[in-house]
Amino acid sequence: MRVKFQIQELLGIGMTLIVLGISLAYGLQIMSDVQDDMTVNSTEWNATGDAMEGVAKIPEKLPTIVTVIVASVIIGILITYLWGRFK
């Protein structure tokens, strides 16, 4: 039994990461615009600022998430190759 791997299978993962990055960037911009419309130091203004800080932590983790995905794919390719070669 031969297992074939095609790079096209990674397209879904790549597109998901791109859409996630774009949506987070626009989401943060919208939250910033909403905060600008509120009274400074009000409860709503503080809540919006806290929400922006929380959402901003997700894009900070994207490089780590991408590294884990790439490492998983490489390990999977190596295991598949070595399994077929030394079986």
CB 55 within 8 A of CB 23: no
Tell me: the pLDDT tens digits for 22-56? 998 898 899 889 888 888 888 988 998 999 999 88
Give the count of domains, the chain.
1
Residue 2 lies in a domain: no
Classify residue 65: in a domain, yes or no: yes
pLDDT of residue 4: 66
Confirm whether 53 is domain-assigned. Answer: yes
Q: For the segment 49-69, what is each residue's pLDDT rounded down to a tens digit?
A: 999 999 888 888 888 988 998
Q: Which residue has the tokens 């490489």?
A: 74
The neighbour count for residue 48, using CB atoms within 10 Å, is 19
Selection from 77, 75, 65 nearest residue 16 by Cα: 65
Range of the domain at 76: 7-86
